[in-house]
Chains A and B, each alone.
Chain A
């Protein structure tokens, strides 16, 4: 029963794989929960900053702030691509990389030089593999990005932008709409697009002055955009992995059904054949 034994070992192997994918699914489900909590916890800060900046900002002030400077011509841009360190998350990283490549292509066809900064092993591995230059990379951020990580990533770029060495900075990340919807997104973070004011502005006492407060808050706003990109991508990764592992588990289950059916049929066929042989032998006596 050579075929039977072969089938049996395949069944064993698929069962083993299913056990692993199911475990990974459960692990990402619990990591997703925590990552999602961090996305939600980061919202009040972003909202508060946006509210106040919108209140204080007026177009007349725009020229005074280097972070709001609209470049005359786009000659040099930076793209910060955020990917995950681990794979097995379906097309999650591939989608982010594709988005970044499209953006780089667009910038370059507009005649701008574009530097690529990469977060995450997956993105770095890809661009190393195709031999594209990577201006800087970080692979130590992992599942729990902190606000300091965002400062470290973007403070240098902000300095370059203020000094006029960069004309725009983009961040490519997975926007976290829900665990099932994490579309790759490219946002321009510099020059800062001031948030829209909702309702009418209140008359505040301002210390020291609107300009001074804005000068202090705009860098915070940029850092927060990057921090949010980091936490949303981290949550999106877990969501994508959960989905990928769930369908892997389902597929393994389907495959097991087919294999078991084939195995049982082969076993039954063999028994029938043995009986036929015995009956045939008995008749011959």
Chain B
């Protein structure tokens, strides 16, 4: 399991567990699964998908970065909003 938090400049948009995360990196999508090596990558603009067992949450993000360390995924972006 991954612990994911999506943090925008104004508030923490999401915090919770997920099986995998697919994020729009600066040069294309990047997928994160459990056990990923520590990584920091710059983000571009697009849709962030947080896959939980059963359903997928989608967020619009723009800029910022994604950090993975010890199964903790932090998506830090200037603007983030959840798409329903």
- A-side residues, CB < 8 A to B, are 38, 41-42, 44-45, 48-49, 52, 55-56, 146-147, 150, 202-208, 212-213, 216-217, 220, 223-224, 227
- List of A residues within 8 angstroms of B64 by Cβ: 216-217, 220
Asked if A206 and B12 make an inter-chain contact with CB atoms under 8 angstroms apart, the answer reads no
Asked if A207 and B67 make an inter-chain contact with CB atoms under 8 angstroms apart, the answer reads no
22 inter-chain pairs at a CB distance below 8 angstroms, sorted by A residue, are A38-B10, A45-B10, A45-B12, A45-B76, A48-B67, A52-B40, A56-B40, A147-B78, A202-B38, A202-B69, A204-B38, A204-B39, A204-B69, A207-B41, A208-B26, A208-B42, A212-B26, A213-B65, A216-B42, A220-B9, A220-B64, A220-B78
Query: Nearest CB to that of A41 among chain B residues?
Result: B11
In the assembled complex, B1 has its CB within 8 A of some CB on chain A? no
Q: Which of the residues A41, A44, A223 comes within 8 Å of B78, measured between beta carbons?
A: A223
Residue of A38, A48, A203, A213 with most partner-chain B CB within 10 A? A48
Add 19 more A-B contacts to A147-B8, A217-B64 (CB < 8 A). A44-B5, A45-B8, A45-B12, A49-B76, A52-B67, A150-B9, A202-B38, A203-B38, A204-B67, A205-B38, A206-B39, A206-B40, A207-B25, A207-B30, A207-B42, A208-B26, A212-B42, A216-B65, A223-B9
> With A and B bound together, what is the CA distance between A239 and B35 in angstroms?
46
- B-side residues, CB < 8 A to A, are 5, 7-12, 25-27, 30, 37-42, 63-65, 67, 69, 74, 76, 78-79
